[in-house]
Amino acid sequence: MRSDSPRKVDFTVTITPNQEPQVLLPGNHQLETWEKWLEVSRAVAYFFGSLLFLFGSIFFYPEYSAKWNGNAVVFASWGFVIGCIYFFAGANLDFIQSIRYNHGTQLRQVLRAFTALCNYMAASTFVLGALYFLPSWYPKSPELGCWAFINGCILFCIGAIVEILFICTTHGDPRVSGFRITNMFCWGAAATLSTLVSSVFFIIGSWFYLPEYINRADDGTHYMNTAITFYVLGSVCFVVNSCVLALVFATTTQIFSLRTPLILLLGLVLLATTTTTVHSLDQATQVEEVELDPDVGKSTVELIQARGYAVETHNVTTADGYILTLHRLPMSYAETQSGESAAANKTTILLMHGLLDSSFSWVCNFRNQSFAFVLADAGYDVWLGNNRGNTYSDRHIKYTTEDDAFWDFSWEDMGRFDLPAMLNHALEVSGRDTLALVGHSEGTTQAFVAFSENQTLAQSVSYFAALVPVAWLGHTKAKALKFVAKIYLDKIFDVLGQVEFLSQNEVLQEIIGASACTLNPQLCETALALVSGDSENWNSSRVAVYLSEMPAGTSVKNMAHYAQSIRKDTFSAYNYDCSCLRPLGLKLCSKLICKNKAKYGSFDPPAFPVANVKYPRTGFFRGENDILATSVDIDQLRTAMPLSTVVYDETISDFSHMDFTWAVNANDKVYQSVLEQLEAYAGVGY
């Protein structure tokens, strides 16, 4: 009989939640064997890639490319291709590693991923560039390979800079704990800096390998050797980078059985590649041993004394506290050697140097070639100025060069404070009512600032000789400066907290001046031509002397101000930026996001009123081959000034920007014309 009563059932349900997957591996993750070999494979890929770059570069030299019945150049080309493929493989492994591991904070994760992405794109671009170096591909587009390498290296540079930020970023919130520069003292930072240096060398090498250089009838071979030399140097740095990475990976992966032989192997290979590189450079450039010029490393005072002139050193403090140094030549050579007193009532003249230069530029050549000596022997009381931040004017009543506040200046401050202080001091000491002024490059920029704002000061100058005047720069052809402006290098330095730019470093400049430029002055001339323009007027044997004192240093802000002039084609006060919506009007614009409003009370910085420059009488001296201060920009300046102000305008044939202070024939082509103008207006008032 069936029962209709419900059946009792007992059961329980247990729900076990799914474990969330570990998306990112923690930093202390213990590597599996396959993971360890993956890390080592990454280092090996970079190592063999850079090694192939090195041998490929060496066999691009004309001397070596002809070997093996001309097939050596094919080997070199394929060396580049296979090396780039190795780099591409390493970059892929980099990218995998960066997205698998947890690097502590969201910022560190983003920085590491960005670095890996830059390296991946750079390596991809390298592969394309290398293919167009193959003999069968090169004729299709001779420039493409070079530009691919240049762009790839820029990406490598960006990745290296971001990697440095990653290394300096703490595992905590950087808004609280900030960045630690001390983190840079590690092998990872050494590898990153090697990548940065390598990329810069490859950029320079690729630039000079462009057809417009290597196909020149007269000096194409020189440019080719220069380009390949930079490729070799860059390859050596890439080898160093991969060796350091290999040591780091061998340590972190704890493959002790491989560590010792790996170190020995990489050490031997590094020694062998360095030896090969030195040999190839020696064979390719065929440099003979050259006696060092005795003037290398001499200061302005030491050079003046070595030429047999009396010299005085004066210090003057500006209204904003900078202590500037002036060098004075009160007597001619004949007066100094005879022991006579200086003649009375000499015309006083002040000479102002250019960007990254100093008073040294006016005495850097021999007696009949340097303007300071020419003027002294012509009977002038010669004063040589030094702007704030250079080798001779690096003091302040309150700050030291270690303080960021010391470097908070640009060329407009030199015009408002430096030039008036030095000019008035020279007038006071000499007892004259007026003096003559000669400015070169930046020395003219600060003068136009000073005279546009202070016509009383301007009337104390009887004549102003503007050698390659610089105000507007929107049409400059100096590719190096245009590149700096285009990539906003000033902004990058600002982010990195760098405030000082190319200040004199005795060790570095002795290496450059006493070694590199003495052995291969053409290489240094080529580098200088990127900023100044090609020149046949320098004494090649003196380039080492010039670069032992130059660059003399300035501020990043000063370089940024020139970069702004290039980007905006303006002659204005420093632009502190403004992010306001302008249609809403200035009143609704917050000073927090518009620093220009806080500084100037406007969206944009004010332009310097050069239309006010009625005084002093001014002469323009241009250079036909000057790629920095072009005639278009100088014409723009002249048009903006009153018509009667410019009383003389001459273009010097075959002269580049630096020829006005460095050229051995500057006395004949420039200085005698300036002397004629000075004599015509000396002591003449307004």
Does residue 108 belong to any structural domain of this protein? yes
Q: Is the pLDDT of residue 52 over 50?
A: yes
- Reported as a pLDDT band with limits 50, 70 and 90, residue 614 is very high
Q: Is the pLDDT of residue 31 over 60?
A: no
Adjacent-strand bridge partners of 646: 618
Measure the CA angle with vertex 672, ends 669 and 678; round to 5°: 135
Q: How many domains does the chain divide into?
A: 3
- Reported as a pLDDT band with limits 50, 70 and 90, residue 646 is very high
- Reported as a pLDDT band with limits 50, 70 and 90, residue 249 is low
Q: What is the mean pLDDT of residues 51-65?
A: 63
Question: Domain check: are 454 and 583 in the same one?
Answer: no
Q: Is the pLDDT of residue 368 over 60?
A: yes
Does residue 644 belong to any structural domain of this protein? yes
Q: Is the pLDDT of residue 40 over 80?
A: no
Range of weakest confidence among 38-47, 486-495, 522-531, 677-686:
522-531
Q: What stretches of 505-590 show up as alpha helix (H) in DSSP?
A: 506-511, 517-519, 521-532, 543-549, 556-568
Question: Domain check: are 380 and 261 in the same one?
Answer: no
CA 110 to chain centroid, in Å, comes to 28
**Cα 299 to Cα 359: distance, rounded to the nearest angstrom:** 9
Question: Domain check: are 277 and 321 in the same one?
Answer: no
pTM: 0.61
Question: Domain check: are 217 and 143 in the same one?
Answer: yes
Q: What is the mean pLDDT of residues 203-216?
A: 73
pLDDT at res. 563? 92
Question: Domain check: are 538 and 637 in the same one?
Answer: no
pLDDT at res. 673? 96
The answer to whether the beta carbons of residues 333 and 378 sit under 8 Å apart is no
Range of weakest confidence among 289-293, 334-338, 401-405:
289-293
More confident residue, 192 or 31: 192
3-state secondary structure of 667: helix
Question: Domain check: are 483 and 346 in the same one?
Answer: no
Number of H helices, E strands in the chain: 29, 11
Residues 6+ apart with CB under 8 A from 3: none
Q: Is the pLDDT of residue 662 over 70?
A: yes
**Within 10 A of 37 (CB to CB), how many other CB atoms are there?**
15
pLDDT at res. 544? 79
Question: Domain check: are 516 and 434 in the same one?
Answer: no
Question: Domain check: are 584 and 618 in the same one?
Answer: no
Q: What is the mean pLDDT of residues 272-288?
A: 46
Q: Is the pLDDT of residue 442 over 90?
A: yes
**Cα 95 to Cα 45: distance, rounded to the nearest angstrom:** 14
Q: Is the pLDDT of residue 660 over 60?
A: yes
pLDDT at res. 70? 60
pLDDT at res. 504? 60
pLDDT single digits (tens) 455-503: 999 999 999 999 999 999 999 998 878 877 887 766 766 666 668 877 6
What's 360's domain CATH number? 3.40.50.1820
- Reported as a pLDDT band with limits 50, 70 and 90, residue 537 is confident
Active site residues: 441, 626, 657
Range of weakest confidence among 135-139, 150-154, 413-417, 659-663:
135-139
pLDDT at res. 532? 62
Question: Domain check: are 50 and 185 in the same one?
Answer: yes
Map tokens 């002055």 to a residue. Answer: 521
Does residue 657 belong to any structural domain of this protein? yes
**Cα 306 to Cα 301: distance, rounded to the nearest angstrom:** 9
Percent pLDDT > 70 in the chain is 58
Question: Domain check: are 425 and 514 in the same one?
Answer: no
Does residue 164 belong to any structural domain of this protein? yes
| Residue of 238, 299, 233, 126 lying closest to 516 (CA atoms) | 233
Q: Is the pLDDT of residue 305 over 80?
A: yes
Q: What is the mean pLDDT of residues 594-600?
A: 93
What are the structure tokens assigned to 651, written together? Answer: 């273009």
Does residue 13 belong to any structural domain of this protein? no
CA 452 to chain centroid, in Å, comes to 30
More confident residue, 532 or 308: 308
Last residue of some domain: 547, 575, 600? 600
Does residue 335 belong to any structural domain of this protein? yes
Map tokens 């004394």 to a residue. Answer: 305
More confident residue, 541 or 352: 352
Q: Is the pLDDT of residue 310 over 90?
A: yes
Sign of CA dihedral 138, 144, 147, 149: negative
- Reported as a pLDDT band with limits 50, 70 and 90, residue 334 is very high
| Averaged pLDDT score across all residues of the chain | 78
- Reported as a pLDDT band with limits 50, 70 and 90, residue 318 is very high
CA 153 to chain centroid, in Å, comes to 16
**Across 121-130, 160-169, 469-478, which has the greatest mean pLDDT?**
469-478
Q: Is the pLDDT of residue 22 over 50?
A: no
Q: What is the mean pLDDT of residues 21-47?
A: 59
pLDDT at res. 252? 53
Q: Is the pLDDT of residue 144 over 50?
A: yes
**Cα 265 to Cα 304: distance, rounded to the nearest angstrom:** 54
Residue range of the domain that includes 459: 300-475+612-681
Q: Is the pLDDT of residue 69 over 90?
A: no
Last residue of some domain: 557, 574, 600? 600
Instruction: For the chain, give the longest Cα–Cα distance.
Output: 148
Q: Is the pLDDT of residue 178 over 60?
A: no
**Across 61-75, 261-275, 435-449, which has the greatest mean pLDDT?**
435-449
Question: Domain check: are 463 and 587 in the same one?
Answer: no
Pairing of strands 435-440, 395-396: unpaired
Does residue 416 belong to any structural domain of this protein? yes
Does residue 639 belong to any structural domain of this protein? yes
Q: What is the mean pLDDT of residues 530-545?
A: 74
Range of weakest confidence among 148-157, 510-519, 650-659:
510-519
Question: Domain check: are 497 and 433 in the same one?
Answer: no
| Residue of 383, 393, 370, 465 lying closest to 432 (CA atoms) | 383
Which bin fits 337, alpha (ψ -120 to 50), beta or left (φ > 0)?
Answer: alpha
Residue 157: enclosing H or E segment and its boundaries?
helix 144-168
- Reported as a pLDDT band with limits 50, 70 and 90, residue 429 is very high
